[in-house]
Amino acid sequence: MIRLPEPYAGRLQPNASLARYTAARLGGTADLLYVAKESTDELATVVMSAWDQGVPVRVLGGGANVLISDKGVRGLVVINDVSEVTFGDWHDGRNVSATGGMGLTVLARKCQTRGLAGLEWAASVPGTVGGSVVNNAGAHGSDIRANLCEAVILEAGRGIQILTLEELTYGYRTSALKARVDKRFLVLLAQFALKPDDPAAILARMEHNVAYRKQTQPPGASLGSIFKNPPGDFAGRLIEAAGLKGHRMGGAQVSPLHGNFFINRDNATAADYYALIRYVQETVHKQTGVNLDMEVELVGDWQN
């Protein structure tokens, strides 16, 4: 158990299912679950209390890039649903400050109506600002790094830290934060420098991106791209060429529309997903020699 100050203590949920907090709608339970909605203070208090008491903590945003084990997650899972944005005119061109729990699509839309360009790529990328800062989410030839100035994080034992782009050392769907094994940090805020543009022109670019995704990606419960694209190629193309589109294991299926999307066709378990991931990796490797690296992150108890 963990001791939290009131009123937060009453909001801790023991043995809570995480399936509804993940985009694939699957996975086991958290020993303890806390959904932070109110404020950054609430979020920081809960996470710091757990750190201080030696309870392992995992912060999740939209659960759009995590495969949560059927055996669940030990310790505390905190869902970051604290959604606030401030527009301003700060130094270095910074003009947007969003909390880590803000939905990326919500932020992109708010910026569009204000005539601030740069996040058009994010118009239909699920998840939160925090998860995207960790993952360097991106699409349509851009990514979070393209407009981010700084990330404000809370770190166990170190308090508030401001990380510059250089310190975040971004790469393709990765960052210094993603590489951290201890996970004892919390993305509180992301600060962006977006360029003024005509709201109608920004909207047109967003709609173009959304339409393209609707045409090429399957609807329904999934985790987006399962594998990173290998250099000079596309994971989806390799999977399709290996004849794996539509391949099914248990309730999980390689989308017949897009080879790099695995859909939760019929009450899939995380074990179904993982078995399909391994099968696809092995088959593609046998046929082409290419190792597909996972873009999706395994979270929780994956020990046999």
Alpha carbons 277 and 79: distance in angstroms, whole number: 26
Q: In the structure, how many helices (H) and strands (E) does the chain have?
A: 7, 19
- Encoded one letter per residue, x for contact with ligand FAD by CB under 6 A and - for no contact, window 111-150 reads --------------xxxx-xxx-xx-xxx-----------
Q: Is 222 a catalytic residue?
A: no
Alpha carbons 161 and 132: distance in angstroms, whole number: 18
Contact status: 98 vs ligand FAD (CB under 6 A) = no
Rg (CA), the chain: 19
Query: Cα separations (Å) of 132 from 8, 128, 236?
Result: 27, 6, 22
Contact status: 187 vs ligand FAD (CB under 6 A) = yes
Alpha carbons 257 and 246: distance in angstroms, whole number: 8
Task: Report the candidate in 161, 162, 138, 139 with the shortest Cα–Cα distance to residue 149.
Answer: 162
Tokens of 45: 């208090």
Of 36, 46, 59, 98, the one binding ligand FAD (CB under 6 A) is 59
* Least Å from the CB of residue 107 to ligand FAD: 12
Contact status: 77 vs ligand FAD (CB under 6 A) = no
Among 132, 175, 225, 255, the active-site one is 225
Contact status: 270 vs ligand FAD (CB under 6 A) = no
* Least Å from the CB of residue 185 to ligand FAD: 6
Q: Which range of residues in 6-14, 53-61, 110-118, 156-164 is near ligand FAD by CB under 6 A?
A: 53-61
Task: Confirm if 96 and 111 have CB atoms less than 8 A apart.
Answer: yes
- Encoded one letter per residue, x for contact with ligand FAD by CB under 6 A and - for no contact, window 2-41 reads ---------------------x------------------
Alpha carbons 219 and 237: distance in angstroms, whole number: 19
Of 27, 100, 236, 300, the one binding ligand FAD (CB under 6 A) is 100
Alpha helix stretches (DSSP H) within the chain = 40-52, 104-113, 129-135, 165-168, 199-216, 235-241, 270-288
Q: Is 173 a catalytic residue?
A: yes
Q: Which range of residues in 31-39, 63-71, 242-250, 251-259 is near ligand FAD by CB under 6 A?
A: 63-71
Contact status: 259 vs ligand FAD (CB under 6 A) = no
Alpha carbons 262 and 34: distance in angstroms, whole number: 28
* Least Å from the CB of residue 274 to ligand FAD: 16
* Least Å from the CB of residue 196 to ligand FAD: 25
* Least Å from the CB of residue 78 to ligand FAD: 9
Contact status: 66 vs ligand FAD (CB under 6 A) = yes
Q: Is 225 a catalytic residue?
A: yes
Alpha carbons 135 and 119: distance in angstroms, whole number: 16
Q: Please give the positions annotated as active site.
A: 173, 225, 295
